[in-house]
Amino acid sequence: MSQADADALLLEVSAYLKSEDVALIQAALDFSHNAHQGQLRQSGAPYVTHPIAVARILTPLHLDAQAITAALLHDVAEDTSVSIEQISDKFGKPVADLVDGLSKLDKLKFETKEDAQAENFRKMLMAMARDVRVILIKLADRLHNMRTLDSVSREKSERIAHETMDIYAPIANRLGLNDVFQELEDLSFKYLHPNRYAVLSKALKVARGNRREVVGKILEAIRQRLDENHIKAEVRGREKHLYGIYQKMQAKSLAFSQVLDIYGFRVLVNDVPSCYLALGVLHSLYKPFPGRFKDYIAIPKGNGYQSLHTALFGPFGTPIEVQIRTYEMNKLAESGVASHWLYKSSEAQINELHQKTHQWLQSLLESLSQSGDSVEFLEHLKVDLFPDEVYVFSPKGKIFAMPRGATTVDFAYAVHTDIGNCCVATKVNSELVPLRTELSNGDRVEIITAPHAHPNPAWLGYVVTSKARSEIRHALKTMHLTESAKLGERLLSQAFNLLGLKLNDVDEAGWEKLLKETGAKCRQDIFADIGLGRRLNIVVARQLASLGDTISNDAMGNAVVTIQGTEGMAVQFAKCCRPIPGDPIIGVIKSGQGLVVHTHDCPTLRRGRGGEQWLDVVWDKNITRAFDVSLKLIVANRRGVLAKVASAIAEADSNIENVNFSSEGEYTAIYFTLQVNNRLHLANIMRNLRKISEVIRIIRAKNAA
């Protein structure tokens, strides 16, 4: 053990912890030292130097004895023979739970690195939702690993830096740990772009010397003007962190010499009114940039950050960025959720911050539970970690922080899942807008719902929040299964009719036996599997009727299904031939999709006839919905012909869904997608079109997908 580091740690914790807590940490130091005896880091240093360094990163945040102890033991269960149970026996269950939340899932085997990474994040987030100290220790662990990354291979250092930039730095930012966030970004930048980092570091060092005099003059001018106006304030100059400068250069295509505001200034005052008074004084000293003022005091950021930001024209035209905040706001800005341990005075602010953090974690865990795979989960996580927020209002004036690019549908799901699922229209600033409309700062958003509405799969193309995306996928999946179960029940009932039996006559014992044999949880699962083509209806019918497990294809073909046209996602109408009531039709059960209905003469169906399950289907006599149909018109190139064609279609009481053109010499081909009720309705439309002298030929287009 590095005795100097251990002594320094004990000295640091003695400054704010009781003697019995310090004794616990001393015991953890000895335990960690013995457990890691003989182990070395890749740098060659004794391994125990790492947990001591992690614990020392946490002491400025005044974390309690349990957290410091867990930091010292965080690798013991993972890298030594010591178990979580042993840690629990010696240091208590709270410490053991923290260590367990920090341990990776090394004993499980995953197919890909992404799966392993996702599962480790799942575990960490679940532990973090129970106790936020888990992520504070994890961030300290990652920070020390990043500080000592020189000793690992280039490939590994790049992988760790990518992960840090994508996940850990944004989490630190989301939790309000500003210093940790900036250092993680700078270190990731160093290993991802070493040449750019080296050049930029050198340039910044030179600029630091060149601009010292200008910065000093601005500091003195601000202090003097505030003093003249009797505002007690502390003024500090600060340098932007390296990656922040690089991002600005990238975003605005600037050379380093063009980034003039690498220095900012922070004004700390005693109370909120003084913040706004100081702002007025600074605007009288230097002219403000139009549109560059942000009030995060009235509308705090999602991580609880509060401050006034303004950009000013300084001396010699130098842009100056100034932050104005109270001392309490500054503590929260630098320590985030760790303020709970570090400062005890502003309980109301800290409680609100913890509540926001908890809500964010809960939304992450909801998306985590509904994510289908690891890639989808990591996508949700990354979207949530890079919000770049805009602030919008509900009709009652409640503020919602939404990621930049969020749409009205994202807002609907942010209000409540049921509001999102039933959303049919939206008003932004009292005007009706499309659902895909992106929100801007200050928008007032009203969601219009309908009781029987449901999510549209097209929404997945433009929502950006993980909550909206996961809830839409969950609702669509549930709808698909529900509709497939209804279709499966009809198919099974008709298979029973084929056998001269009735589905309702099957007793509970028969169903129980089938569920046990198939491993299904309930009969709805059986119905859904039949509707999705995963099971043959006639085979299930025979199993239930205890007549054996096989049936001939001839018998299978005798089962006729009635199509009502309103079955939703469980019954799809093929876009290649667009069947409409009155067409002779045939059904194909595709595994995982359900029933796909084609016309008998569909060319795609003839080409693709293979091992699918085929069913005879017929139209219900009382269908009222409209169906899409494709028409191709060859018309003479004359002025006004399109207007005549559109008028004839409208007179036949049909809507035009889509129209395209292609020129063929003296003639033009017009491709329409129309909505019709049935084949008779289509015949009336075609009769109207034939009356137009310019129409040379009308073809109902097949293979028009």
Query: Which residues form the catalytic set?
Result: 78-79
Find where tokens 């003989």 sit.
38
| Strand-strand pairing, 319-326 and 389-393 | unpaired
Eight-state DSSP code of residue 299: S
Cα separation, 393 vs 409, whole angstroms:
14
Helices 65-73/3-14 angle, 10° precision: 160
130 contacts 108 by C-beta, under 8 angstroms: no
CB contact at 8 A, 314 and 218 = yes
**Which 3-state string (H, E, C) describes 239-258?**
ECCHHHHHHHHHHHCCCHHH
Per-residue 3-state assignment (H helix, E strand, C coil) for 120-153: HHHHHHHHHHHCCHHHHHHHHHHHHHHHCHHHCC
Helices and strands (H, E) in the chain, number of each type: 30, 19
Q: Tell me the CA distances in angstroms from 320 to 206, 211, 264, 350, one per residue in order.
A: 19, 13, 6, 31
Task: Give the helix/strand (H/E) hosting 50.
Answer: helix 49-58
Largest CA distance in the chain: 101
Closest CA to 325 of 238, 409, 266: 266
How many other C-beta atoms can be found within 10 angstroms of the C-beta atom of residue 435?
18
Selection from 670, 665, 621 nearest residue 649 by Cα: 670
Element (H or E) spanning 491, and its range? helix 466-498
Helix (H, G, I), strand (E, B) or coil at 704: coil
Taking alpha carbons only, the member of 150, 184, 148, 151 closest to residue 166 is 184
Cβ-based neighbour number of residue 107 at 10 Å: 6
Residues β-bridged to residue 311:
321
CA 617/CA 585 separation, integer angstroms: 6
Query: How many alpha carbons lie under 13 Å from residue 107 in its C-beta half-sphere?
Result: 4
Residue 546, H or E segment: none
Whole-angstrom distance between the N-terminal and C-terminal Cα of the chain? 71
Backbone angles phi, psi at 419, to 5 degrees: -65, -45
For residue 403, give the nearest of 433, 354, 438 by alpha carbon: 438
∠265-269-270 over CA atoms, to 5°?
165
